[in-house]
Structure 1
Amino acid sequence: MSAQRLDAESVIPLIEDAVAAPSMHNAQPWKFVLRPDTAVLELRGDPERAMPRADPDHRALHLGCGAALFNLRVSAASAGCPAIAELLPDGLDPWLLARIRFRSSSEADRDLIPLHPAVRSRHSSRFPFTEERIPTPLLDALCAAARLEGCRLVVPDAWHTETVLGVVRDSEHREAIDPALRDETSAWTHAADGGEQERSDGIPVSAFGPRPSGRSSPVRDFGRSQPVSGRGWAVFEEHPQIALLGTSEDTPTDWLRAGQALERVLLQATADGLVNSMTSQPLEWPELRWTVRDPLAPMGHVQMVIRLGYGPQGPATPRRAVAEFFDVVGRPEPTPR
């Protein structure tokens, strides 16, 4: 692919990698617009896939799109055409999240290339992990990965981990008594057995994982209010290993950076043989979000709680066809003869 001349055939493989990224409830809230005449690929948020009750400020939407942007950067680097992304380039168009251009040099972003195999193999696992502790060097590498994207990853001590888990349980109770939030979550889950047409978004039954037996787990139970035939129970790890991803400020630009940092951490974890899941329940309640922050860490705003460890790899969740969120606008200038 030439940096001066883009075409759909060259860009689509990059986008297919990009959209392997995680997003809240697997809503896949992104659009891509290729403008061949200016050699620009735009990443746009999709307001029709927003969640007004759980994510009224679109923070989670920005995180998901930021994660997709990082995947695209990894894919572009692997293809030898590193990407440069300008975040929020138009103050009058808040849904234009990034304007992306590609370079011809294959030397830039070479550190991203080893992460490329993890792009398609990274999945959230809502299954029990083992009690095996993660070696400190691996955790240090994940913290370094977050710093490379301008964010911080903090591994809380046992005391603060218990605090965070307590806030997760509190947020679960709040969701249980909020009909609007329950309905919104249910709209993004597939709880039907066979009769429902297969969807290309949302959380399928196969990704629910088992119900936690006894003490609640740091995993969102998408089947809490929807009985699923054959879904069993399991005991989750007694001492979950979590990490807090955060930023110093809390603007849309910070959210996009946090999304890129989140995906960089998750891909590095996957490459290192770790499995993961994410929980955002306590971050969806402003009065609870501040309590998630580690008071001893220089982090202003927590953007995601990540559960890490060793255990079964989660199943892949569905992805929409590229034609549903990709468009080409304008035509390239004719090549001079």
Structure 2
Amino acid sequence: MTLRVASAGQLSADQVTSVLRSATLAPSTHNTQPWLFSNGAAGIELYADADRTLPVADPDRRELLLSCGAALFNLRTAIHATGFQPAATLLPRRGDPDLLALVRPRSPATIDRRIASLAKAIPRRHTNRTPFAASPVPAEAVGSLRHAAEIEHAWMPRLDAEQLDGLKELVGESHRLQANDPAFVAEWRRWTGRGQANRDGVPFAAGGETAADDAWVLRDFGGARAPGAAPLVVVIGTFGDQPLDRLRAGQAMQRVLLTATALGIDASFISQPVEVPAIRTRLRDLLGGGLWPQIVLRLGYGTPVAWTPRRALEDVLLDPPSLSA
């Protein structure tokens, strides 16, 4: 397919190409990359790619919206680092649930050094599934990560020892439920353990664990309980649980991940307790009932791992474009 990128708002075609490439570097469940883009004079549209849903692990598209929210944050950040203000409208077209956002690169903007730092972290961020070292995540860094979530209308509550013990139990229980579900395992196997030639899914070199192995899910988990121990296990949540809340949560997640990357901190996802609906409800109760848990992260310092691939830009561009007025 021939790459056809037009200018958008104040951005030239080359600049649009650059910011779209940044958007596609966002994380996604099983590296499904469930996003599509359209661009034209009005701006850049972000769509959910309905063909890349996970009907077993993500039947209500919650994680798809988180992934697309992460791509949206990358897009906004890259546009700002180019020197323009990204005016984003979420869910701009009633009746079209796949159109998630319209971003209009408008007037020139003074580049915020903090956002420029996040933009530089975009190509360096990747999920690290290796065991983490015993070096603790500094308290100052934890404060920066918590602030990053709050800027994007999400919250990263402090978990006490009792809550962390409860979370560990929920992780193990939800993992066992998934590992004993043939449909989940079949879906998981379709997307993991792939060769490096694939442009999506998780290559074996980047993961390698098996869906039925409990050890990797709980490894290093207990270290989060004791001050000065590693890794750190955190939950990112929102007060609502509608599509708009989930899209915002994805942006918060990515801001947290890029902040971590800029600070030299690695991260991986503990997806099981938020993928099993009954366990997610119990996790919400564990957090006090006010927040809907959206993401559970493991943060620390790992060893270098292989990067997951990305689809070619021409494969995620809609042709012809269909821009909102």
**Pair in the same fold by TM > 0.5:** yes
Map of 2:197 onto structure 1: 198
Shift of 1:206: 0.7
* 2:56 maps to amino acid: R
Whole-Å separation in 1 of the counterparts to 2:287 and 2:278: 20
Map of 1:162 onto structure 2: 165
Whole-Å separation in 2 of the counterparts to 1:4 and 1:238: 49
- Higher mean alpha-carbon deviation, 5-14 vs 289-298, is at 289-298
3-state SS of 2:318 partner: strand
* 2:73 maps to amino acid: F
Whole-Å separation in 1 of the counterparts to 2:119 and 2:271: 26
Map of 1:47 onto structure 2: 50
* 1:65 maps to amino acid: C
Query: Could you tell me the TM-score, scaled by structure 1's length?
Result: 0.85
Residue 326 (str. 1) matches residue 310 (str. 2): no
The residue correspondences of 1:18-29 to structure 2 (distance < 5 A) are: 18-29=23-34
Map of 1:116 onto structure 2: 119
Residue 13 (str. 1) matches residue 18 (str. 2): yes
Residue 128 (str. 1) matches residue 127 (str. 2): no
3-state SS of 1:154 partner: coil
* 1:267-294 deviation per Cα after TM superposition (whole angstroms, max 9, x unaligned): 0011111111012111111110022237
Residue 300 (str. 1) matches residue 296 (str. 2): no
Whole-Å separation in 1 of the counterparts to 2:208 and 2:184: 21
Map of 1:264 onto structure 2: 255
Distance 1:297 1:197, change over 3 A: closer
Q: Which of residues 257, 269, 272 in structure 2 aligns to 1:278?
A: 269
The answer to whether the 8 Å contact 1:3/1:103 transfers is: no
The answer to whether the 8 Å contact 2:9/2:43 transfers is: no
Shift of 1:57: 0.6
3-state SS of 2:256 partner: helix
Distance 1:42 1:109, change over 3 A: farther
* 2:238 maps to amino acid: T
Whole-Å separation in 1 of the counterparts to 2:121 and 2:298: 18
Task: Give % identity.
Answer: 39
3-state SS of 2:103 partner: strand
Whole-Å separation in 1 of the counterparts to 2:242 and 2:322: 35
Distance 1:15 1:280, change over 3 A: same
Distance 1:82 1:315, change over 3 A: farther
The residue correspondences of 1:11-160 to structure 2 (distance < 5 A) are: 11-36=16-41, 39-107=42-110, 111-160=114-163
Q: CA RMSD in A?
A: 2.5
Q: How many residues align?
A: 310
Map of 1:228 onto structure 2: none
The answer to whether the 8 Å contact 2:81/2:111 transfers is: no
* 1:9 maps to amino acid: D
Whole-Å separation in 1 of the counterparts to 2:214 and 2:66: 29
* 1:83 maps to amino acid: P
Whole-Å separation in 2 of the counterparts to 1:119 and 1:257: 18
Shift of 1:266: 0.4
